[in-house]
């Protein structure tokens, strides 16, 4: 089965197909900073993760991801 999958991928690539994410589908750090600047400000003021998620109507995991990426201890 693995052989058939790999040969199918190889044929697709040989015909000019591209695998993986499309370019521009992920946000850069600058775009994330701009989009979540209020979240970053609230984190710096000491608000809790759950409180920020509720205030901004976003998920807790999103707030945690932003905190881990932009707020250094």
Sequence length of the chain is: 73
> Which residues are CB-neighbours of 60 under 8 A, at least 6 positions away?
49, 50, 53
pLDDT tens per residue across all 73 residues of the chain: 899 999 999 999 999 999 988 888 888 888 989 999 999 999 999 999 999 999 999 999 999 999 999 988 7
- The model's pTM is 0.67
Task: List the domain boundaries for the chain.
Answer: 24-73
Six token digits for residue 31: 């775009």
């Amino acid at each position: 089965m693995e052989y058939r999958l790999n040969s199918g991928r190889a044929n697709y690539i040989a015909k000019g197909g591209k695998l993986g994410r499309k370019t521009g589908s992920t946000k850069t750090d600058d775009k994330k900073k701009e989009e979540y600047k209020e979240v970053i400000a609230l984190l710096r003021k000491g608000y809790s993760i759950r409180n920020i998620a509720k205030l901004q109507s976003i998920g807790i995991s999103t707030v945690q991801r932003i905190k881990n990426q932009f707020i250094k201890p």
